[in-house]
Amino acid sequence: MKSCLKNKLQTGVQYMMILNAMKFFLKSWVFIFLLLTGCGDRKKSKQVPLIFEASIIRITDGDTYHIVYNGEKKTVRLAHIDCAEILQPYGEAAKSFAATLCLGKKVVVRTTGKTDRYKRIVGEIILINGINLNKELIRNGLAWHFKQYSDDLEYAVLELAARKQHIGIWTQENPVAPWVWRHK
């Protein structure tokens, strides 16, 4: 009888250990799921959707825009392109061109779902009339296709067309790409 009770007790202890291990395992997976999906994280809830409407409140340069979305200020870095820096030839022209199209206006931002190393939202800005600002900057010779971060063929074709038309930055004999200029 004593050995039977001892066996049952050992089985019960083993059962409790297995049950506790399973509870711990389940809690760990729930925690990981919540961490990865952002559930329960209040800061995460302030992130933007992939497509949203916003107002342009400031333009830093041709490819960096300050917006207001749901009452919060955010920064957007235009995807697929790189405009000349402000002190570069055509840097101010790119900023002015963009300002005439969208500064102080409502736009639609279509994000890649990513942010850059400066925590800027990476995406395309679509004007209310449907014009894609990113593509307009390239089409008008005010930006390079940023091939390091984009393999979108439409942007490559737009850059080639602007080069052939010798407009904007392509009127210069040897235009210096902004990613090269930044490292001078």
Same domain, 38 and 53: no
Establish if 182 belongs to a structural domain.
Answer: no
Write out the two tokens for 92. 């101010």
Is residue 177 predicted with pLDDT exceeding 90? Answer: yes
Q: What is the mean pLDDT of residues 31-51?
A: 57
Establish if 59 belongs to a structural domain.
Answer: yes
Establish if 70 belongs to a structural domain.
Answer: yes
Same domain, 9 and 57: no
Domain span at residue 35?
1-45
At a CB cut-off of 8 Å and minimum separation 6, what does 90 contact?
A: 83, 84, 141, 142, 168, 169, 172, 175
Active site residue 120: yes
Nearest CA to 64 out of 158, 153, 133, 140 is that of 133
- What is the pLDDT at residue 44? 45
Is residue 40 predicted with pLDDT exceeding 70? Answer: no
Same domain, 75 and 164: yes
What confidence tier does 29 reach under pLDDT thresholds 50, 70, 90?
A: low
Same domain, 22 and 38: yes
- What is the pLDDT at residue 7? 59
- What is the pLDDT at residue 47? 75
Is residue 32 predicted with pLDDT exceeding 80? Answer: no
DSSP conformation class of 141: T
Same domain, 40 and 51: no
Q: What is the mean pLDDT of residues 67-78?
A: 97
What confidence tier does 58 reach under pLDDT thresholds 50, 70, 90?
A: very high
Catalytic member of 58, 72, 77, 110: 77
Same domain, 26 and 55: no
Same domain, 130 and 106: yes
Catalytic member of 42, 53, 85, 124: 85
Active site residue 92: no
Task: Quote the number of domains for the chain.
Answer: 2
Rg (CA), the chain: 27
Establish if 181 belongs to a structural domain.
Answer: no
Catalytic member of 120, 124, 136, 159: 120
Active site residue 85: yes
Phi-psi region of 16 (alpha: psi -120 to 50; beta: other; left: phi over 0): alpha
Same domain, 91 and 31: no
Same domain, 138 and 149: yes
Same domain, 141 and 53: yes
Indicate the pTM of the whole model: 0.74
pLDDT digits (tens, 9 = 90+) for 118-130: 999 999 999 999 9
